[in-house]
């Protein structure tokens, strides 16, 4: 598969493009609002074609698919425009600014006959899959999940602080914590959250919330741009627990671990370094080639967006909010 990349965003340059190049696929083109920036990135990364606007790349480049790491508020528009050219789309998380937008984008890409997948790379790490397997098959009933992703954001002009671009900690890193909780507990019934805007930016810079379930299960969610790095999930069950540190963004050369305890027996499992961006790209390309539903599918993306929408509404209103259920 030959990819075209829209924008020279850091995640594209430092993570996804290197991941594609480790696979059997290639990055054939890159575009930016600035031809100069695109050309500089192409030269630095060994990409054959550079374009000064996205639409020209869609129309003229020899590509099969597009990777979209634009700011959140631009995901839907430019994924649709890529689909207009018959290009399959791998789009950064969160796929759109809300559930309704995600439904529309999936429908649009289906009508255009192209594959759409939200790029949630941590789900492709072997540790993530092993953790879910342990909780499902080796531990007892889950009653609590605690998931958190925080980091210090020091740049006051960062796009994550721009409400016009759908910034905020829930959209940027909270989506991972929500995804982790749902991976162990399924779809929640209600949400309650409190948010703080420590920069007077118009977006949440910290958010803490609870996803609750009718059977009594609870997930605690926290995310933010203030304070030290914090990146983990912990699952409590009737007979033990499981915990994974540095669970959302390990480096491709970093070995990682998880620890679980069942009936008093504690086990630590270690995982060799892998590039989960590479694994994500390979899974996406395989789904396209084989005409299959991609691993991060419509149901998964919409489930995460529904929970995020409910947390955001609760933070705005100060009241618990029912999580919309699939129709």
**For range 279-304, the mean pLDDT:** 98
Helix (H, G, I), strand (E, B) or coil at 110: helix
User: Does the pLDDT value for residue 118 go beyond 70?
Assistant: yes
End-to-end CA distance of the chain: 34
DSSP code at position 124: G
What helix, strand, coil percent values describe the chain, rounded to 5? 40, 25, 35
pLDDT tens-place string over residues 226-257:
989 999 999 999 999 999 999 998 888 999 99
pLDDT score at 35: 93
Instruction: Print the domain residue range for 85.
Output: 2-119
DSSP code string of 10-45: HHIIIIIHHHHHHTT-EEEEEE-SSHHHHHHHHHHH
In this predicted structure, the answer to whether residue 309 has a pLDDT above a threshold of 80 is: yes
**211 falls within a domain:** yes
Looking up tokens 């949630």 gives 120
CATH no. for residue 195? 3.30.360.10
Residue 94 maps to a domain: yes
Nearest to 188 by CA among 221, 161, 156: 221
pLDDT at 325: 82
Q: Which of 72, 89, 119 is the last residue of a domain?
A: 119
Query: Using an 8 Å Cβ cutoff, are 51 and 38 in contact?
Result: yes
Q: Are residues 112 and 129 in the same domain?
A: no
Count the domains in the chain: 2
Residue that is last in its domain, among 87, 119, 151: 119
Does pLDDT of 274 surpass 70?
Answer: yes
What is the dihedral angle through the alpha carbons of 128, 243, 92, 274, rounded to the nearest 10 degrees? -50
What three-state secondary structure class fits 307?
helix
Last residue of a domain, one of 85, 119, 153: 119
Count Cβ atoms below 10 Å from residue 157 Cβ, excluding itself: 6
Residues 56-77, mean pLDDT to the nearest whole number? 98
CATH number at residue 112: 3.40.50.720
The arithmetic mean of pLDDT across residues 84-91, rounded, is: 98
The percent of residues above 70 in pLDDT, for the chain, comes to 100
pTM for the predicted model, two decimal places:
0.97
For the beta sheet containing 65-68, the strands, ordered from the edge strand earlier in sequence to the opposite edge, are 49-51, 26-31, 2-6, 65-68, 88-92, 116-119
DSSP string covering 68-84: E-S-GGGHHHHHHHHHH
Token pair listed for 172: 């940027």
Distance CA 226, CA 299 (A): 32
Give the model's pLDDT for residue 257: 98
Average pLDDT taken over every residue of the chain? 97
Q: In this structure, are 209 and 259 located in the same domain?
A: yes
Average pLDDT over residues 308-326: 95
Partner residues linked to 246 by β-bridges: none
Residue 287: inside a domain, yes or no? no
Sign of CA dihedral 172, 173, 179, 182: negative
Percent of the chain with pLDDT over 90: 96
At 2-46, the pLDDT tens digits run 999 999 999 999 999 999 999 999 999 999 999 999 999 999 999
Decide the pairing of beta strands 65-68 and 2-6.
parallel
Same domain, 144 and 269: yes
Tens of pLDDT along 161-207? 999 999 999 999 999 999 999 999 999 999 999 999 999 999 999 99
**pLDDT the model gives residue 13:** 96
Q: Is the pLDDT of residue 326 over 90?
A: no
């Amino acid at each position: 598969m030959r990819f075209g990349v829209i924008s020279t965003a850091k995640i594209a340059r430092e993570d996804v493009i290197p991941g594609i190049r480790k696979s059997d696929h290639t990055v054939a083109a890159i575009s930016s609002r600035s031809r100069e920036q695109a050309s500089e990135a192409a030269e630095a990364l060994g990409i054959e074609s550079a374009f000064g606007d996205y639409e020209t790349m869609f129309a003229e480049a020899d590509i099969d698919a597009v990777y979209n790491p634009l700011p959140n508020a631009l995901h839907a528009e430019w994924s649709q425009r890529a689909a207009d050219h018959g290009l399959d789309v791998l789009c950064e998380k969160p796929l759109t600014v809300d559930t309704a937008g995600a439904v529309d984008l999936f429908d649009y890409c289906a009508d255009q006959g192209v594959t759409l997948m939200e790029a949630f790379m941590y789900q492709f790490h072997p540790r993530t899959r092993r953790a879910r397997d342990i909780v499902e098959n080796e531990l007892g009933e889950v009653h609590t999940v605690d998931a958190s992703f925080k980091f210090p954001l020091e740049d006051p002009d960062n796009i994550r602080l721009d409400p016009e671009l759908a910034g905020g900690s829930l959209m940027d890193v909270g989506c991972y914590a929500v995804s982790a909780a749902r991976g162990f507990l399924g779809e929640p019934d209600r949400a309650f959250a409190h948010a703080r805007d420590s920069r007077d930016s118009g977006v949440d810079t910290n958010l803490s919330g609870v996803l609750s379930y009718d059977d009594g299960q609870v997930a605690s969610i926290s995310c933010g741009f203030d304070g030290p790095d914090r990146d983990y999930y912990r699952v409590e069950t009737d007979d033990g627990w499981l915990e994974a540190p540095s669970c959302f963004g390990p480096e491709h050369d970093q070995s990682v671990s998880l620890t679980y305890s069942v009936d008093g027996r504690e086990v630590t499992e270690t995982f060799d370094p892998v590039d989960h961006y590479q694994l994500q790209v390979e899974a996406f390309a395989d789904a396209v080639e084989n005409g299959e539903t991609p691993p991060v599918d419509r149901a998964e993306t919409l489930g995460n967006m529904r929970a995020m929408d409910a947390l955001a509404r609760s933070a705005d209103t100060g009241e618990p909010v029912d999580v919309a259920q699939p129709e």
